[in-house]
Chains A and B, each alone.
Chain A
Amino acid sequence: MMSGARFVAAASSVLLLAACGGNTGVTNPSTGGPGVPTPPAASLTGAGATFPAPFYDAARFAYNQKFSQVTVNYQSIGSGAGIQQLIKKTVDFGASDVPMNASELASAGGSDKVVQIASTLGTESMAYNLAGVSNGQLRLTPKTIAGIFLGTIKNWNDPALAADNSGVSLPNQSITVVHRSDGSGTTYIFTDYLSTVSADWKTKVGKGKSVSWPVGQGAKGNEAVATTIKQTPGAIGYVELAYVLQTNMTQASLQNHDGNFVIPSPEGATAAASQFLAVNPSQFSIVDAPGKNSAPISGYSWLMLYTDQPDKTKGTALVDFLDWLVTDGQQYAANVHYARLPSNIVRDDINSLKTVTSGGSTLLSVPAPS
């Protein structure tokens, strides 16, 4: 509804500009409208998470094409470093796969001093390397995934795996577990999932951006995990869906909360996310979501900015950009295999952005979403 109205507004302003003979040399010039505010000239800098970086890069480029007066720089230096930079106020916004926790918020001046919005949505696949077992053919349940990563299921011919995979000939081959060696939001979402579906995992390992892995070997970054799996017969690991699709890896069908086997997809991530009406920086887990199409290992990525912006012009450009990012900007998520935010989350994001002020006045001029 809302994004449709925005599209009309943006399109009509394009026509208006064209009629006035406006030629700025920009491919998609727009003066904005009620939905997409025209930002003041500013140069914005953000830093943080690497997982959503392809989406941010595509989006900030498109935004600059649309509004050439605004340039947005984004340094994908890792979520932890992004939060540190925000606390030190060396960037205008930070990005993290896990929202800032209480102690980090305290370092930034308190939880009411920082606005955190969900910016995009991703999901993870279980990629594997098994000769003769094609894409989606391997079926994994929460129980078998936990068993493999706890080290209780060591061989591909384990009866527990065979029970879910009648008709698939699983070899007598030892399982090589591959995980991320660097701290990452990807690992956080995966271990959050394991902690949700397995009591054993929760007590023995727990969730975090880095954990003490019971088995397996580590590789640095999604790319290295993907390559290690591809090079190692009998390997399995969790990889961002985007990397799996871009590199044509074979991935397993995963049993979700409702008992259906689904192949992870951006739509599956959106389906999972829409099951949770309210997500906030302290309640943000959407793993093992109910719903028949839900992709089970999904999660949001977050952006953080200060509630009180010292520079009014810059602050206005910042909230205008973020408002665009969570609405029209979402179209750039699909190109890089991330999922669109559900409409309820977009509404929450805009309401959060409307609390951002400079010198006591609200910076975002769009009407409050219904």
Chain B
Amino acid sequence: MVPTPLVAASHQRPLVSGDRVFSVIAYGAAALIMLIAVIFIIALFIPALPAITKFGLGFFTSRTWDPVRNQFGALTAIYGTLVTSAIALLIAFPIGLGAALFLAEDARLSLVRGPLSFLIELLAGIPSVVIGLWAFFILTPLMRDKVDPFLQHTVGFLALFKGTPTGYGFLTAGLVLAIMVLPIMIALSRDVIRAVPRELREASLALGATNAETIWSVILPYARVGITGAVLLSLGRALGETIAVTMVIGNTMQISASLFASGYTLPSVIANEFTEATGNVYLGSLFYLGVVLVLITIVVNVLARLLIWRFSGSARASA
């Protein structure tokens, strides 16, 4: 009995210094991340300066992109980025949520669940250039010959579906992005739906609610913060995706109401033009596009935070 405190004491000192070493490493790692972020933003701003000083905030509203006359503006590419990402989310949100509910809630097909989850993770692991290749060779002809004509026949009266479909453009790019963000959407939503406490489901079912009613009025409200997070993470992925979009969007500097039209996105312009961009203003404008893209991503992240705070606040208030 006597040696016990002695042993504990002899173990305590190295533990304390170990703690210190660990905290130094942890603080160091945190500081390094901040340093990298700051250096990154500075490194993006400095080469962009020639364009920032020349075009200022007018860069955001100008539709001109003319390397011959050294006149540049980001509006067209911002439009393309937002439109393709919006299409991606409109497609991926309902499908992703449905699949997540199935995976998390439906116990009947528990044999399928494992392999299906594995397949979704596999889909997430496919490199975007491979998806781009598939889209370029398989999806674009399919869109031109089948999907686009079908849309024109059925909802062609809308301005969204006017013009001659070539298979390339906003709609195809949005669809490719939807395929790429689906795994994120499904995996994250599934996890937050699974995290809903069992008592809540049981209570709801015990009160006589059906499965659908339980999902609709208990599980989804409880999980909405996490689902919002999943949507915003998907959006982040869609905004920044480069190569697969470049292969199918048609790379045209134009703003068009028609989803069949070719367009351009911020990352695509950068990827296409930086190798041959000569001159400080031209190269600076490409970096400026990078700044714009980072700003959009930051805005999305801040929005995500605000939404999550609001939702979690109201969830607590109603609880």
Q: Which residues of A contact B (CB under 8 A)?
A: 77-81, 83, 101, 103-104, 174, 176, 181-184, 205-213, 216-220, 224, 227-228, 231-232
CA distance in complex: A205, B164 (Å): 25
Within 8 Å CB of A217, what residues of B?
166, 168-169, 250-252, 262
Residue in chain B with minimal CB distance to A211: B68
User: Do A80 and B278 touch (CB < 8 A)?
Assistant: yes
Complex Cα distance A80/B246, Å?
20
Q: How far is the CA of A220 from the CA of B271 in the complex (A)?
A: 9
Question: Contacting B273 at CB < 8 Å: which of A101, A207, A210, A224?
Answer: A210
- Among residues 253 to 293 in chain B, which have CB atoms less than 8 Å away from a CB atom of chain A? 253, 262, 268, 271-273, 275-279
B140 contacts A by Cβ under 8 Å? yes
Interface string of B60-100 (1 = CB under 8 A from A): 00001111110000000000000000000000000000000
Pick the contact of A206: B68, B167, B247, B268 (CB < 8 A): B68
Among all A-B residue pairs, the 6 with the closest Cβ atoms: A183-B276, A78-B275, A218-B251, A181-B251, A217-B250, A206-B68
Expressed in whole angstroms, the minimum distance between the Cβ of A21 and any Cβ of chain B is 50
Q: Are the CB atoms of B167 and A210 closer together than 8 Å?
A: no
- The distance in angstroms between the C-alpha atoms of A231 and B137, with both chains bound, is 8
Determine whether B18 belongs to the interface, using a CB cutoff of 8 Å to chain A.
Answer: no
Residues on A with beta carbons closer than 8 Å to the beta carbon of B272: 181-183, 210, 218, 220
Q: Which of A101, A207, A211 has the most CB of B within 10 A?
A: A211
Chain A min CB distance to B230 (Å): 31
Nearest CB of B to A219, in Å: 7
CA distance A80 to B136 in the complex (A): 27
Task: Say whether B156 faces chain A, with CB atoms less than 8 Å apart.
Answer: no
Determine how close the nearest CB of chain A comes to the CB of B119; give it in whole angstroms: 29
**B144 in the interface, Cβ–Cβ < 8 Å?**
yes
- Across the interface, name the chain A residue whose C-beta is closest to B164: A174
B141 within 8 A of A: yes
- Among B69, B141, B253, B277, point to the contact of A183 (Cβ < 8 A): B277
Given contacts A176-B166, A231-B167, contact A80 B275 (CB under 8 A): yes
- Count of residues in B whose CB is under 8 Å from the partner chain: 32
List 14 interface pairs A-B (beta carbons < 8 Å), by A numbering: A181-B268, A182-B273, A183-B276, A210-B272, A210-B273, A212-B64, A216-B252, A217-B262, A218-B250, A218-B272, A220-B246, A227-B136, A227-B137, A232-B144
Contact with A along B219-248 (1 / 0, CB 8 A): 000000000000000000000000000110
Q: Which residues of A contact B275 (CB under 8 A)?
A: 77-81, 182-183
Given A104-B278, A182-B275, A219-B251: A232 in contact with B66 (beta carbons within 8 A): no
Q: With A206-B68, A217-B251, A217-B262 given, can you name 19 additional A-B contacts, CB distance below 8 Å?
A: A77-B275, A78-B275, A79-B276, A80-B277, A81-B275, A101-B278, A104-B278, A181-B272, A182-B275, A182-B276, A183-B277, A205-B68, A210-B272, A211-B67, A213-B252, A217-B169, A217-B252, A218-B251, A219-B251
A residues within 8 A CB of B141?
231
Q: Which single residue of chain B is at the shortest CB-CB distance from A81?
A: B275
Q: B276, A210: Cβ atoms under 8 Å?
A: yes
Q: How far, in whole Å, are A212 and B65 apart by their CA atoms in the complex? A: 6
Q: Are B252 and A207 in contact (CB under 8 A)?
A: no
In the complex, what's the smallest C-beta–C-beta distance from A206 to chain B, in angstroms?
A: 4
Residues of B contacting A211 in the complex (Cβ-Cβ under 8 angstroms): 66-68
Q: Which chain A residues lie closer than 8 Å to B168 at the CB level? A: 217, 228
With the chains together, A184 CA to B276 CA distance in Å?
7
Contact B164 A209 (CB under 8 A): no
Question: What is the minimal beta-carbon distance from A225 to any residue of chain B, in angstroms?
Answer: 11
User: Which residues of the partner chain A approach B247 to less than 8 Å between Cβ atoms?
Assistant: 220, 224
Q: How far is the CA of A194 from the CA of B107 in the complex (A)?
A: 66
Complex interface: chain B residues within 8 A of A228 (CB): 168
A94 nearest CB across to chain B (Å)? 12
C-alpha spacing A228/B166, complex, angstroms: 10
Residues of the B chain whose Cβ atoms lie less than 8 Å from the Cβ of A101:
278
In whole angstroms, what is the CA distance A88 to B256 when docked?
A: 42
Please determine whether A183 and B252 come into contact, CB atoms closer than 8 angstroms.
no
Given contacts A176-B166, A217-B250, contact A83 B278 (CB under 8 A): yes
